[in-house]
Amino acid sequence: MIIQTLAFYLFAAITVASAFMVVAARNPVHSVLYLILAFFNSAALFLLMGAEFIAMILVIVYVGAVAVLFLFVVMMLDINVAELRQGFLKYLPIGAAVGLVLFAELILAFGAWTMAPGAQAAMRARTPAPGRVDNTEALGRVLYTDYFFLFQVAGLVLLLAMIGAIVLTLRARPGVRRQSVPDQIARRRDEAVSVVKVPLGGGI
Amino acid sequence: MPLMEFFTTHWLGQLIVIVAKCLAVTVPLLVSVAYMTLADRKIWGAIQLRRGPNVVGPFGLLQPFADGLKLFLKETIIPSGAAKVLFIIAPMITFVTALVAWAVVPFDDGWVIADINVGILYLFAISSLGVYGVIIAGWASNSKYAFLGALRSAAQMVSYEVSIGFVLVTVLLCSGSLNLSEIVRAQTGGIHHWYMWPLLPMFVIFFISSLAETNRTPFDLPMSEAELVAGFHTEYSAMTFGLFFLGEYANMILLSGMGVVLFMGGWHAPLPFAPFTWVPGVVWFALKIATLLFVFSWTKGTIPRYRYDQLMRLGWKVFLPFSLFWVVATAGVIAFARGH
């Protein structure tokens, strides 16, 4: 138990410190790397809670895919840090306001989660008995039976966002020669090669 | 027996057992990495009608150790424009991620360091971390060749991970478990029960994607010598390069191990009767991995490098739709067979 507590404080401290460094780091690439460290430590926190499925999904989705794309984009862009810093104080009140609103919402959500009528009973009902069913299966059951419709709608929203992003960035440029693999494979020798008798001293 | 008690109950004894288990996996793994490099060169030699390394030791058997010693004794050069800390961390990330993934691989029934519920997800998560070693190396080197190699590699590994993910989904639909030992147990009973037959197209996609994940020919664009010198590790020398090299080979062995666990029945003998079942499971496991690794080397000696747009086309336009279709088909067949 004492090791678990120590591990919790270690991971939590690293998460908070690296989250701070995401904002404070001078180099945007370092910011993204700190963000990855924060993701990784939050996954460790989930593991400590016994939510191994969510921990692994966090690593696969956020560390393995999302952060790679972040890093990719940030490395490609030539971001001037000094220019970014110029408006820092001007935007500080807005940033603080957004932070406060988010914090208040978190408190409200937590309050509603613990104090709403029937919430305690619901929490007890959702938790499967330990050792009988692992939490991958438990999550699957809740998602695909109780919340099937909402789950599908969430998937559709993501699909819509993806199509939107593709439509916004797709440009059909005229005059581009594209490779057509079936055409290349279907080509025969007699279409591609012709034997020509070249007269002496003359060209074709 | 007080000694047994010490190892099973006392925390120090348990710690010693854990460390011993880790060493029992890591040391043979590193030795097989060393001999994999030799086998690779011997196989290419045979393909090109050469002898391959045959001077150091009998049949060149000491060649990998000579190479290792040479790398160890060379000078580590850090370019003046490089981001020093990241430059040194990058090869460590590649090497460590290739090693820690072995924690969940079952070598025989019960021979596994951590028999966790979400073993397959753990493997997938760790193998998706390997890309950071490459991309950080490319950026920290502060060199155009290394950076281009790293960008190619990042795009390539992310693309092929998607289809590997769908391949894993089909396997776990069939086995009904995320635990690697359970997946192997679901394939008990001879070669015809292995998942490589019902899921043959997925096995092929998995193998080709693992070539792309490990940056091997025909997908070795991140380090294509003709254009990028040595790709993301152009600026690396001595042991920092050595760690990349070891990590790359350990990753190849890991992906072969994954293929064996998911599709080739893990530790099970190919035929479930007497002379075959006398051989221990761990030997079958190693033999199967060696078979897949041979195909890795064979491919490298045979197939020319893909062009970059062909690589992307294959990943996104061929493998992704096909594996997506196969997931739906597998799920449909299973649901139909269970009579839902």
Of A36, A76, A136, which has the smallest distance from its Cβ to B178's Cβ?
A136
Which pLDDT score is estimated for B322? 92
Is B128 within 8 Å of A60 (Cβ atoms)? yes
pLDDT at B306: 82
Q: What is the mean pLDDT of residues A21-28?
A: 82
The CATH number of residue A46's host domain is 1.20.120.1200
Angle of helix B84-100 versus helix B119-140 axis, rounded to 10: 160
> Once rounded to an integer, what is the mean pLDDT over residues B28-36?
90
For tokens 């037959």, the residue is B197
Together in a domain, A2 and A67: yes
**CB within 8 Å: B121 and A57:** yes
Show residues of chain A in contact with B148, CB under 8 Å: none
Nearest to A71 by CA among A30, A24, A26, A15: A30
Q: Quick one: A4 and A75 in the same domain?
A: yes
Q: Looking at the structure, tell me whether residues A140 and A77 fall in a common domain.
A: no
Token digits of residue B152: 């190619």
- Is residue B136 within 8 Å of A68, Cβ to Cβ? no
% of residues, chain B, pLDDT over 70: 97
| Residue found under tokens 């152009």 | B234
Judge: A59–B117 Cβ closer than 8 Å, yes or no: no
* A76 and A145 both lie in a single domain: no
Q: For residue B11, give the chain A residue with the closest CA.
A: A3
Which chain B residues are within 8 Å of A52, Cβ to Cβ? 116-118
Half-sphere exposure (Cβ direction) of B262: Cα atoms closer than 13 Å: 31
Average pLDDT over residues B144-165: 85
The pLDDT, as a whole number, for residue A28 is: 82
Q: What is the rounded average pLDDT of the residues A152-175?
A: 91
- pLDDT on residue B271: 81
User: Which residues in chain B have their CB less than 8 angstroms from residue A181's CB?
Assistant: 313
Report if residue A67 sits inside a domain.
yes
- Please choose, from the candidates B113, B231, B117, B254, the residue with its C-alpha nearest in 3D space to the C-alpha of residue B182: B117
A31: in domain: yes
Q: Which of A36, A53, A75 sits opposite B118 (nearest CB)?
A: A53
Whether the CB of B15 is below 8 Å from some CB of chain A: the reply is: no
**Residue B233's pLDDT band (cuts 50, 70, 90):** confident
What is the pLDDT at residue A83? 64
Question: Are both A69 and A7 inside the same structural domain?
Answer: yes
List the single residue in B124, B147, B309 with the smallest CB-CB distance to A60.
Answer: B124
Determine, for residues B161 and A64 on separate chains, whether the beta-carbon distance falls below 8 Å: yes
- In this prediction, residue A128 carries a pLDDT of 52
Binning pLDDT at 50, 70 and 90, where does residue B225 land? Answer: low
- How many whole angstroms from its chain centre is CA B195? 19
In-domain check, residue A72: yes
Tell me whether A1 touches chain B (CB under 8 Å).
no
Tell me, yes or no, whether A158 lies in a domain: yes
Is residue A71 less than 8 Å (CB to CB) from chain B?
yes
Residues A1 and A67 in one domain: yes
Helix (H) or strand (E) holding B11: helix B11-47
Whether A2 and A73 share a structural domain: yes
- Asked if the model's pLDDT at residue B6 lies above 80, the reply is no
| A76 neighbourhood in chain B, CB within 8 Å | 151
Angle at B220 between CA B218 and CA B221, to 5 degrees: 110
**pLDDT at position B86, please?**
87
**pLDDT, chain B, mean:** 85
- Closest Cα in chain B to A71: B135
Tokens of A133: 């069913």
Using CA atoms, how far residue B95 sits from B63, B239, B243, in Å, is 21, 11, 6
Is residue A160 assigned to a domain?
yes
Which residue from B117, B147, B151 is facing A52, i.e. has the nearest CB?
Answer: B117
Q: Do B86 and A72 touch (CB under 8 A)?
A: no
On the 0-12 / 13-18 / 19+ scale of CB atoms within 10 A, B261 is buried
Is A94 within the bounds of a domain?
no
- The residues, any chain, with a CB within 8 Å of residue A19's CB and separated by 6 or more, are A34, A35, A38
- Give B122's contacts in chain A (Cβ within 8 Å): 56
Q: Identify the pLDDT of residue B321.
A: 92
CA B270 to chain A, closest CA, distance in angstroms equals: 32
How far is the C-alpha of B66 from the C-alpha of B72, rounded, in Å? 10
- Tell me the C-alpha distance between B325 and B170, whole Å: 10
Mean pLDDT of chain A: 83
Q: What is the pLDDT of residues A66-112, one digit of tens each?
A: 888 888 888 877 666 666 666 667 778 888 899 999 999 999 888 87
Angstrom CA distances, B76 to A43, B94, B228, stand at 34, 17, 21
Least confident of A90-104, A113-127, B39-53: A113-127
Residue A139 Cα, gap to closest chain B Cα (Å): 13
Domain count, chain A: 2
Q: What is the spatial distance between Cα B209 and Cα B288, in angstroms, rounded to a whole number? A: 18
Give me the mean pLDDT over the B178-197 stretch: 84
Given a cut of 80, whether residue A165 has pLDDT beyond it is yes
What does the pLDDT read at residue A175?
82
B232 in contact with chain A, both atoms CB, cutoff 8 A:
no
Please check whether residue B271 touches A, CB under 8 A: no
Residues shown for chain B: 340
Type of residue at A91: Y
3-class secondary structure, B240: helix
pLDDT at B84 over 90: no
Residues 153-182 of A with CB under 8 A from B: 179, 181
Residue A119 lies in a domain: no
Q: Using one digit for the tens of pLDDT, what is the confidence trace for A127-159?
A: 555 556 677 888 888 888 888 999 999 999 999
Question: Is the bond leading into B218 cis (omega within 30 degrees of zero)?
Answer: yes
* Angle value at C-alpha A76, between A73 and A78, nearest 5 degrees: 115
Within this chain, do residues A77 and A152 fall inside the same structural domain, yes or no? Answer: no
Q: Which residue has the tokens 């491919």?
A: B299
Dump the DSSP string for chain A: -HHHHHHHHHHHHHHHHHHHHHHH-SSHHHHHHHHHHHHHHHHHHHHHTT-HHHHHHHIIIIIIIIHHHHHHHHHHS---HHHHHHTHHHHHHHHHHHHHHHHHHHHHHHHHHHHSTTHHHHHHHHSPPTTTS-HHHHHHHIIIIISHHHHHHHHHHHHHHHHHHHHHH----TTPPPP-HHHHHH--HHHH-----PPTT---
Residue type, A53: F
| Residue A129: per-residue pLDDT | 55
> CB neighbours (10 Å) of residue B318?
14
- Asked if the Cβ–Cβ distance from A65 to B136 is below 8 Å, we say no
Residue A70 lies in a domain: yes
- What are the tens digits of pLDDT across the range B131-148? 888 888 888 888 888 888
Q: Is A136 on the interface with B (CB under 8 A)?
A: yes
Q: Which of B86, B154, B165 sits opposite A68 (nearest CB)?
A: B154
CB atoms within 10 A of CB A194: 7
* % of chain A with per-residue pLDDT over 70: 86
ipTM associated with this complex: 0.80
Residues of chain B with Cβ-Cβ distance to A134 below 8 Å are: 117
Q: pLDDT per residue over B85-115, tens digit each?
A: 888 888 898 899 988 888 888 888 878 888 8
Measured CA to CA, the distance from residue A45 to residue A48 in angstroms comes to 5
Residue B316 has pLDDT above 80, yes or no: yes
Tell me which of B121, B135, B141 to substitute to probe the interface with A (most A C-beta atoms closer than 10 Å): B121
Please check the confidence at residue B313 and state whether its pLDDT lies above 90.
Answer: no
Q: Which domain holds residue A148?
A: 135-168
What whole-number distance in Å separates Cα of residue B324 and Cα of residue B157?
18
Q: What is the distance between the alpha carbons of residues B300 and A52, in angstroms, rounded to a whole number?
A: 38
